[in-house]
Structures are given as structure tokens and as C-alpha cells.
Amino acid sequence: MDDIYIIIMAAGEGTRMKSRLPKVLHRVCGRPIIDYILDGANAVSKNLPILVIGHGADQVVEHIGDKALYAKQERRLGTGHAVMMAAPYIEGKDGYVVVLAGDTPLIRGETLNSMIEYTIDGGYSAVALSAKVDDATGYGRIIRTPNGDFDRIVEHKDATEAERTIDEINASMYCFRIDSLLSSLDSLSSANAQGEYYLTDTLTIIKDKGEKVGVYCLDDYTEILGVNTRGQLSYADRMMRYRINNFHMEEGVTIIDPHNTYISPYVKIGEDTVIYPGNVLEGKTKIGRGCTLYPNNRICNSQVGDGSTSESSVILDSIIGAHTYIGPFAYIRPGSQIGDNVKIGDFVEIKNSKIGDETKVAHLSYVGDATVGRNVNIGCGAVFVNYDGYVKHRTEVGDNAFIGCNVNLVAPVTVEDNTFVAAGSTITDNVPEDALAIARSRQVNKEGWVSKRRHEKEQEEN
């Protein structure tokens, strides 16, 4: 909406995290916390969000760049003070401003939209988001009048024993009519247990002026949970992981053990794919239909074609074709393109290489900086020797070639179509089409050599 503005409070030190990294840059399911908040902001407003920054400001700005406007809170004097720092961006504007906490990654855009609609449709000047929890320790409490209307918000440290029994907590997220918020900020006081300017006090100020203030209570309290400790970070990660995995299962993916499957928010997975425990799917990975991911794969920013299988392997920034088998214990390094119906077996490493359809690299081989054709067999222990100590060179292998066991292909070199390289050969020159290449010394057996050598050794010792 054009008349909706967003302020995100992200200036806190996060001292309980005990980290040099700003709290909002810690990751939940592989994404910084602040990215989820920006998603929520962008879901409800076309205007750039206003990010209030302080601790680790340079790191935050470097990460977010031009996706936000910035207000610096040099001295952190509370949530009300943070909004004061952002106020110049909304002065003279009409409409509504949503204030969000920068450490609540589980908040949904649709929830924020519902809060905004509740505010506008109800004619409220301000609305606080709330939820009911089993343990409200540490949270501000929503105090209601006897008829259930908003009365005030009391911070935990300022609450009486009776008020601390209340289970409805403040989510630190609000929707204000802009003019009402700006006028109330001038009346804030720091006369409280913390000596800070509480944004919550603006709601009481607005109410006392005779304006309408409300509370929008959520059914799912997990959406408003903040991250202040490593334990809370872990819990948020678990909740987000459940949300992500449940989405994929509803879309037709079988996840054997959702509690031990780790999928980033950007991953796409086709229907009828089966994912076993221990898989880690990161970045913008795309898994096709009908794939099988046996336990303990790590796949990052890669594509896996329909019907392919991977077992206990690492695939990074690469493309895997359809009906291809990877692993176990294969390592597909960045820049690799593996064709259809390919076998990349155990303890094989592929780096920055293109492997043609129907090719087999069965086990214990290294293929680096190479283009390998169709229907090629690369035997056990083959090494594509790509580095001369200064420069990486490429190897070209044509279609239907057979590379025997323990072959070294010393790049730059070309092995043409329909060739055969004998086991144990070190190839330094090009191999022409239809040729057999042998590059090894002829075997010589020296009979009696062992006994003679032993006799000479005994004489030396005597």
C-alpha cells in the first residue's frame, strides 16, 4: 500500500548472544534474521522500510544495501527513542506506520496485513500485536479494562505481582496512524525502572487523548517470539524448519524425518521426491520430481534433475541431470555440469567440469577442469592433472572413450572419440580417435633378485 510505512527497530547490541555479529545478522534456516523481517515489511508496503541501526551498523548496512532507509540510534535509550530517530522519514506523511522488532523472524506478512486491516477497519489510532503464552516471563503484559478493551502495556520489570500473572504479552509490533504516533512521541518520558523511553507508553498517551487504541491478538504465539539468546535462536530455527518442511510435504514431497532435515527458505522441490534424514539443502537449490536423497547430503545452490539420486554427498553450485546417481561420498565442486543417466560413484571428486550423458565415473577418481563426452568410462583412481603449479589447464575427453584405472591425464590434453587409454598410463600428448594409448614402462621380471639382495645385505651386516 502507498500509505503504509514500516519502521524496523534493529539497533540492539544483543549482548546475551555473546557474539561479534549483530543479532539481526544471525541466521535462521540459513538466512539472516533481518531478511525475514524485510520480507514481512515488503509484503505490506511498497515503500522502503526504515531501519533503525546502532550496534554493528556497518555490517547491517553492508548486508542490506539499498533495500532500506537508515536511521542511526547512537545512544540506545529504548524503543520509543529508536522510533524518534526514524520519525523524520514519516513527518508530513499521511497514512499508517507499522513498527516491527528486528529480532522476530517468524512473523508472517499475512499477519501484518491482518493487523493493518484491523487498525483501519476498526478506526483505531494505534493497535498493539499480542499473543497468549504459557510463560510470559520477561515480556511486557497487555493490561485490559474489565470489558476487554486496551488499557495499557506494562513492562515485566515495572509490573506488579498481579500483573505478572497475565498471560497476554506484547509482541513489540504496532500499527499507528502517523499523526497520532508523531504527536505522542513528544510526550514520552523515561521515568521507569529502565530509565528508557518506552514505545508502549505512546499507546497510553494516544488513549488518554480520547483516541481509539486496540489490541490484535494472534492465535499462533510463535510468530512473535524474539531472538535474544542462542537458545532462542535455536528455537526459532526449529520453528522455521517445521514451517518450511511442512510446506514441502503439503506440496507432495516425502520427508522421512522433518526434525532432522534442513531446508533453506529458497529451495524448490518437485513432487514425489523422497528426502531421508540428515539432508541439508541450502541457498537456491532446486530438486526435481521423483528424486531420492538418501541420508546426509549437503546440496547448495545447485540443480538436481528429475529422478536423480544422491547418497551422502556434497554438491555445490552445480547442475545434475536427470536419472543420475551421485555417491556415496562424492564431492561435486562449483561449476560442474553432470549430464543425464550418469554415475558418479564413491569418493569421486568433480570440479568445474562438464560430464556428458551416460558417462560413468565409478569410484576414487578426480576430474578437474575437464569436458568429458557421452558414454565415457573413467576407471578407478584416474586423475585429471589440471594444475602445473601456476595455471589450471583443461582436459577434453571425447565420446565413447575408455579411461583405464590409475590413468593420469596431464592437461592440457585431448583424448578424442572412441579411444582407449590403458591402465596405469600417464598421458601428456593428445590421443587421436580410435587409438589405444599406452604410456608406461614395459614390465621386467628379474628372477632371483630377492634372494641375491638378501644375501648381499647379510654379508654387509657381518
User: Which residues are marked as active site?
Assistant: 363
**Grid cell for residue 3:** 500509505
**Residue 178 in contact with residue 223, Cβ under 8 Å?**
no
CA 453 to chain centre: 64
Task: Look at residues 136, 116, 112 and name the one whose alpha carbon lies nearest to residue 126.
Answer: 116
In angstroms, the CA 220 to CA 215 distance is: 15
Query: What distance in Å separates the CA atoms of residue 166 and residue 397, rounded to the nearest whole number?
Result: 73
- Asked if 417 and 399 touch (Cβ cutoff 8 Å), the reply is yes
Q: Burial letters for 440-457: b for 16+ Cβ neighbours within 10 Å, e otherwise?
A: eeeeeeeeeeeeeeeeee
Q: Which residue has the cell 514520552?
A: 188
DSSP annotation of 311: -
- The CA distance from 372 to 286, in Å, is 24
Instruction: Identify any residues that bridge with 282 across adjacent strands, giving them in sequence order.
Output: 300
Q: Around Cβ 145, how many Cβ atoms within 10 Å?
A: 9
Buried b (16+ CB within 10 A) or exposed e, 68-84: bebbebeebbbbbbbbb
From the list 349, 275, 271, the residue with the least C-alpha distance to 310 is 275
In terms of Cα–Cα distance, which of 361, 439, 433, 348 is closest to 398?
433
Phi, psi of 123 (to 5 degrees): 70, 30
Q: Are 275 and 253 in contact (CB under 8 A)?
A: yes
Which of these, 129, 95, 97, 174, lies nearest to 86 by C-alpha position? 97
